[in-house]
């Protein structure tokens, strides 16, 4: 069995996966924040043009949403990779929470504008929270479960309690009404469980080529299974199965260095840009 991607001229790196996830997310949010406003007549001066091109705009709206389904599973995959690569998991968690808080106002302006000022006289509301909080709950759950298993080992009783902890965090995701709800948290924990088992099994193949083949297989399984809860939430999420192809060519390398803060800043910045675009 040859390593996936061995005969091609490119390798998928962590940095490239991040860029694909960001572009996919931007396209999805462009459709939901701006194009939806155009189609609903909320953008002044576009009524006649929309009437003439409504079919094209609807097709664009649907196409961008389908492409947007690739984003969240890639973010989950990167989150779990980061969990094992970061030097300080608590700082990693604090960064995600910080940018979740920074992003909440532009997120609400984009997705909950009718509930905000001037109609409601407020800048933020809490009926639906941005995806940073979904990732934060999932990361916190991984930290708690990992600390618990380190102290109790991987016995049957310990695994049962770990599963109960996982369900508690899934319930928390539903209760806090984060993006993707408990389904998103479940996806993170499924990916974490598979990655953790793969890490434990590492070394079973002693040759470099055998280890690469094994790791590629685990990554494909991880991506395929983490998408299942998302499909249970919405059948459109089946488009995310295309992500399996990406991780099949992922070699576990970072690629050319990029400032890590850019990928955090992009989330609130692109939301604010789309909100301003719609208002203009």
C-alpha to C-alpha distance for 187 and 225, rounded to whole angstroms: 8
- Nearest one of 109, 112, 104 to 129, comparing CA atoms: 104
Handedness of CA 5, 10, 16, 22 (dihedral sign): negative
Structure confidence at residue 88 (pLDDT): 94
pLDDT for res 141: 97
Q: How far apart, in whole angstroms, are the C-alpha atoms of residue 105 and residue 2?
A: 48
**What residue has token string 């909320």?**
42
The tens digit of pLDDT for each residue in 65-90 reads 999 999 999 999 999 999 998 999 99
Average pLDDT (42-62) is: 77
Q: Please give the model's pTM, rounded to 2 decimal places.
A: 0.88
Domains of the chain by residue range:
14-279
Q: Which residue has the higher pLDDT, 53 or 225?
A: 225
The pLDDT confidence band at residue 156, using thresholds 50, 70 and 90, is confident
Res. 31 pLDDT band, cuts 50 70 90: very high
- Tens digits of per-residue pLDDT, 238-277? 999 999 999 998 877 665 656 778 889 999 999 999 999 8
pLDDT by residue (tens digit) across 167-180? 999 999 999 999 99
* pLDDT at residue 168, rounded to an integer: 97
pLDDT score, position 166 = 96
34 compared with 24, residue with greater pLDDT = 24
Please state, in angstroms and rounded to a whole number, the distance separating the CA atoms of residues 11 and 249: 6
Chain-centroid distance, C-alpha 104: 16
User: Quick one: 205 exposed, middle or buried, by C-beta within 10 A (0-12, 13-18, 19+)?
Assistant: middle
Neighbours of 278 (CB within 10 A): 18
- Average pLDDT, rounded, for the chain: 85
Bond into 150 cis (ω within 30): no
Best CA proximity match to 201, nearest among 164, 154, 251, 143: 154
pLDDT higher than 90, residue 55: no
Q: Is 178 helix (H, G, I), strand (E, B) or coil?
A: strand
Phi, psi of 12, rounded to the nearest 5 degrees: -85, 125
């Amino acid at each position: 069995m040859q390593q996936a991607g061995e005969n091609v001229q490119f390798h998928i790196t962590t940095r490239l996966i991040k860029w694909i996830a960001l572009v996919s997310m931007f396209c999805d949010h462009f459709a939901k924040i701006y194009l939806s406003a155009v189609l609903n007549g909320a953008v002044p001066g576009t009524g006649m043009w929309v009437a003439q091109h409504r079919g094209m705009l609807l097709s664009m709206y649907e196409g961008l949403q389908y492409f947007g389904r690739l984003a969240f599973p890639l973010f989950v995959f990167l989150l779990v990779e980061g969990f094992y690569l970061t030097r300080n998991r608590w700082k990693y968690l604090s960064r995600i929470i910080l940018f979740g808080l920074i992003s909440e106002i532009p997120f609400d302006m984009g997705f909950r504008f009718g509930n905000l000022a001037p109609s409601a006289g407020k800048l933020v509301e809490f009926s639906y929270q941005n995806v940073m909080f979904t990732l934060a709950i999932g990361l916190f759950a991984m930290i708690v479960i990992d600390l618990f298993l380190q102290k109790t080992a991987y016995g049957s009783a310990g695994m049962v309690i770990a599963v109960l902890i996982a369900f508690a965090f899934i319930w928390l995701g539903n209760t806090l009404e984060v993006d993707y709800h408990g389904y998103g948290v479940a996806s993170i924990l499924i990916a974490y469980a598979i990655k953790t088992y793969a890490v434990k099994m590492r070394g079973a193949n002693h040759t470099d080529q055998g280890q690469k083949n094994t790791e590629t297989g685990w990554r494909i399984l991880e991506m395929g299974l983490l998408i299942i809860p998302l499909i249970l939430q919405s059948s459109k999420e089946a488009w995310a199965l295309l992500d399996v192809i990406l991780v099949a060519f992922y070699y576990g390398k970072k690629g050319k260095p990029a400032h890590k803060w850019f990928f955090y800043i992009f989330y609130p910045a692109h939301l604010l840009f789309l909100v301003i675009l719609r208002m203009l």
